[in-house]
Structure 1
C-alpha cells in the first residue's frame, strides 16, 4: 500500500483570473447544507419504490421492518467509518481517493472505471426512472405508462439537473434544501396518515408479523439490496470533502444527524404502508406512495405522486452534485482525461466532469430497467465499500500515528466489512446468475484499460489537442486541490 499523505489545514479558496492562476472549488457547504445533501440524496425514489420489492422477496411485514432497521444501522456505521477516512484523507473523491492513498493507482482506477461507467450512471438512471414514473403516473391512471414516455421524461430530468449543477453550486444546494423540506413533509403526511389508521384499529398486518418469512439467503440478500438502495447516499459528503466547511467537525456530525433521522422516518413510513395497504396491494403496486395516497387521501391522492417525484428530483440532484466530483478528482490525479479535471473559470463548477457523467447516464438509460439496475448497482457498490473499509483497517493497524480529528472503534469497520462481504456473496452462493460474473469481469477489466491508456499513455498528442479545443469551448481551466 502506498503511504498516506499527511493531513493539511484547509486554506481559503481562490478563483482563477486572467493571469493564469489555478482554481479551487469553494468551501460553501455548511452543516445544514451537509445534512440536507446526505438526507436529500438518501430520501429519493427508494422509500417510494422499494417497499413492495422488499416485501415480495422477504415475505412478511415483520421481517421487512427488521431489514429496514438493519440497513439503517449498516448505513450509519458505514458512514461513521467513512467519516474517519474523510478526516485522515481530507480530499474529495470518496472511495476513489481512499483507495488511491492506501492501495495504489491500479485498484483506484478499477474503482473509478466501474464508478463512472456503471455505478454512478446506474444510480442516477434508477432515480431518474422513478422520478419519471411518478411524474407520468397521473396521466396514465389505471394503466402502465409507455416505456418510451418514461425514459424521455427521465432523460429530460437528467439534462435539466446537469445544466443546474454546471451553472451554480449554490443553486444546486438551494434545490437540495428545498426538496429536502418537501421530502420530510411528504413522509410526515404518510406517517401521520398511518398513525390515524393505526389508532382506528387497522392492525391486521401485525397480528402475525413474521408469518410467511422467506429465509433463503438469496431472498434476504436481494431484500437487503433493495433497502440499501433507499439508503444510498450515506457516503455523499466524502465525495465533496474539499467543498465542506470544517470537515473534521461537520462530516461526522452531519452523517450522524442525517442518517439517524432518515432511518426513523423510513421505519415509520413502512409501518404506515403496512397499516393502510394489504400485502397484496403493496406487492402489486408500481408506485406504493400513490397507492397509499389514493386509499387515504382519496381525490387528493395525486399529491403523493407530485411529492414523490419532487423527492426523486432532489435525490437525483444530490447524486449529480457528488458523483461529478469523483470523475473530477480522478482526472486531477491523471486517471481520466485532463479536460475532466477542469472547472469553469467564472462559475467554479466542474462542468466538464458533470457533462461527461450525464452523457454516460443517458446511454445507460436506453436499455435500463429499475429493479435490475438496483441489484447490480448494489452488488458493485458493496464490493468496493468492502475494499475501502479494509483500507481503513489497514490505516488503523499500520498507521496509528496519523492525525485523526475523528475516529471510530475498530470493531465498527470490521462489522461493516463483514456485512459487505455477506452482501456480495449471498446472492451468488444461494442463487448464482451469469450476470454477476459479467459484473465481476467488468470490474477487473479496468486493468486492461489502465495499462495502455494510463500507465503507457497511448495517444497523448490527440488527447492534448482535444483538451485544448474543449477547454476553449467550455471556458474551463485546471483546478487545484482545496485542502
Structure 2
C-alpha cells in the first residue's frame, strides 16, 4: 500500500530537463558515424548537409512535440502522445518495440561502446579478451563491463530522481564543454591544404561512393537517394533519444512550459555542436583519412592530428564520459514509458508502482535485465540498424498526431502550439516517410526485420487485452 501512495517528485528544472535531452543524444555516434557518412556521400559538402538535414528533422520534431508535451504533461512521453492521438494499439506497438529493442538494445550498444573505449586505457577490458568460453559462444570482458555499467546506473536511478539528474546534468555539461574544446583546438590546428582540398568547389558537391582505397564510384539518380538515406541512418541514430525529457514529465517543474523548451534547447545545442564537430573534422582530415579511419573512429584520427599520440587518450576519456552520461539519460527516461504502459494494464502490474524513493524501480530493473541480455547476445548492433526506420515511423506518427488532434479534439487546451504549424510538421512527415521508403527499397534486409519486430506487437496487444478483459 505504501508504494501505491507514492507519487513522482517534481525536482527537475529547465537546466536538468535540457541536459537530459542533450545528454541522451550525445553518445558515441558523433565520434564514429561521420566516417560511414563520408563513404556514402564522397564529399564534405554532402556529408555536412546530411548532418544539417538530420538537425532540421530533429529540431522540427522537437518543436512539434512541444505542443503534445504541453497538452499531455504525463510520464511516458511518446507512448502517451500516440495513445491520445490514435488508440491504445498504436501506443502499445510503440511501447513493445521500445522495450524489446529500441531502448534496451540502445542501452546495450552504448554500454559496450563505453567498454570498448575504456579498453584504450585498460587493454584487459577489450572485447577480444574472453572471460567465458562455452563452445562457440564467448563472453568478453567488454560485455561484462557494459553490464556492470548498466547495473550501476540502474541502481543510481532507483535511488531517486535527484541521483539520476545530478549524474545527467553534471556529465552532460562536461561533455558539451569537452566537445566545444575539441572543436576549438581542431580549428586552432587548422590545415589550409586539407581544407582547400576538401572544400574544393569542383568536388565538394559531387555525390558519389568513396571506397577505403580512395577510389570513387558514381551513383545512378535513384542510387543517390539510397546513399543519402543510408548516410542519414548514422546521423539520425546519433541524434536519437532527443525526446527524453517528455518521458519524465511528472518529475519536471512547470512541465507545460519546460518540456517543450527543453526539447527545443537540447536539440538546438546538439545540432550546432554536431555540425561544428564535422566541419572541424574537415579542417584536419582529408576525405580519404575520414573514410579509412581505423574502425570508423574518425574522432580519434582527428585528435591524433590535433594533439599527437596523446589524442587517443583524450578521445577515449571523452567517449567514456559521453557514453556513461548518455546511458544514464536513456535508462532514466525509458523506465517511465514502461511505467505508463503498466498503468494502462499493458505491462506487468508491479512495473506501474513507485518505490520509496518515488521512482519506478521495477521498470528500471526489468529494463536492466533485458539490456544486459542484449549485451550478452552481441546482436544489438544489427538490431539498431534494423530498427532505425521503425523509430522514424513512430516519430512521423506522433508529429502527424498533432495535426490529427487539431481536428479530432480542438477543444483541448494548448498552452503551446507547434512552431511553423502546419508547414514544418508536414515537411517532417514527408521527409520521414521518404526516408523509410528509400530504406525499404535500398536496405530491405535491415528495414523489413525492424518493421516485423514492431508488427509482432499487434498480436501481443490483443492477447494481453483479452486476458485483461477476462479477469477484469
TM-score range (shorter-chain normalised) is 0.7 to 0.9
1:418 aligns with 2:430: yes
Determine which of 301, 324, 346 is the counterpart of 2:335: 324
User: What TM-score, normalized to structure 1?
Assistant: 0.86
More displaced 10-residue stretch of structure 1: 23-32 or 211-220: 211-220
* Counterpart in the other structure of 2:218: none
Deviation at 1:303, TM superposition (A): 1.8
Q: What displacement does 1:382 show?
A: 0.8
Mapping 1:356-435, distance limit 5 Å: 356-368=366-378, 371-408=381-418, 409-433=421-445, 435=446
- What's the counterpart of residue 265 of structure 2? 257
* Contact in 2 for aligned 1:289/1:308 (Cα 8 Å): no
Quick one: distance in 2 between partners of 1:308 and 1:343? Answer: 33
Paired position in structure 2 for 1:162: 154
C-alpha distance 332-459 of structure 1, shift in aligned 2 (>3 A): same
Q: Within 2, Cα distance between the matches of 1:24 and 1:368? A: 37
Structure-2 residue corresponding to 1:474: none
1:267-306 alignment, distance < 5 Å: 267-285=275-293, 286=295, 287-301=297-311, 302-306=313-317
Q: 2:237 is matched with which residue: 229, 243, 265?
A: 229
RMSD over equivalenced CA pairs, Å: 2.3
Asked if the contact 2:127/2:142 (under 8 Å) is kept, the reply is: no
How far 1:295 moved relative to its partner? 2.2
Q: What TM-score comes out, normalization by structure 2 length?
A: 0.88
Secondary structure in structure 2 of the residue aligned to 1:137: coil
Selected match of 1:134 from 95, 117, 124: 117
Asked if 1 retains the 8 angstrom alpha-carbon contact of 2:194 and 2:285, the reply is no
1:460 Cα shift?
A: 6.3
Aligned pair count reads: 441
Task: Quote the Cα distance in structure 1 between the aligned partners of 2:43 and 2:143.
Answer: 32
CA distance in structure 2 between the aligned counterparts of 1:272 and 1:369, rounded to whole angstroms: 33
Q: Does 1:96 align with 2:74?
A: no
The residue aligned with 1:476 is: none
1:205 aligned residue (191, 198, 218): 198
What's the offset of the Cα at 1:146?
A: 4.5
User: CA 1:370 to 1:327, structure 2 compared with 1: closer, same or farther past 3 Å?
Assistant: closer
- Residue 296 of structure 1: CA displacement? 1.4
Structure 1: distance between partners of 2:308 and 2:191: 19
Change (3 A) 1:364 1:29: same
**How has the CA–CA distance of structure 1 residues 227 and 169 changed in structure 2, closer, same or farther, with 3 Å as cutoff?**
same
Q: Name segments (4+ residues, structure 1) moved above 6 Å.
A: 458-461
Do the aligned partners of 2:387 and 2:447 also contact (CA within 8 Å) in 1?
A: no
Q: Are 2:465 and 1:454 equivalent residues in the alignment?
A: yes
1:19-168 aligned within 5 A: 22-140=5-123, 145-146=128-129, 148-168=140-160
Comparing 291-300 and 113-122, the one that deviates more = 291-300
State the distance in 2 between where 1:258 and 1:102 align: 25
Deviation at 1:115, TM superposition (A): 1.0
Secondary structure at 1:323 match in 2: helix
Give the secondary structure class of the aligned counterpart of 2:120: helix
CA distance in 2, matches of 1:144, 1:340: 33
CA distance in 1, matches of 2:122, 2:226: 37
SS in structure 1 of the partner of residue 354 of structure 2: strand
In 2: Cα distance, 1:369 partner to 1:70 partner? 29
Which residue of 186, 205, 211 maps to 1:194? 186
Q: Distance in 2 between matches of 1:460 and 1:306?
A: 53
Q: Secondary structure at the match of 1:456?
A: helix
Say which SS state the counterpart of residue 157 (structure 2) adopts: helix
Q: Which ranges in structure 2 are unaligned for 5 or more consecutive residues?
A: 131-139, 210-222
Render the CA deviation track for 1:229-273: whole Å, top value 9, x for unaligned: 111122111111111111121122222222212111111111111
8 Å CA contact retained: 2:99, 2:367 = yes
Query: Secondary structure, in 3 states, of the residue corresponding to 1:245?
Result: coil
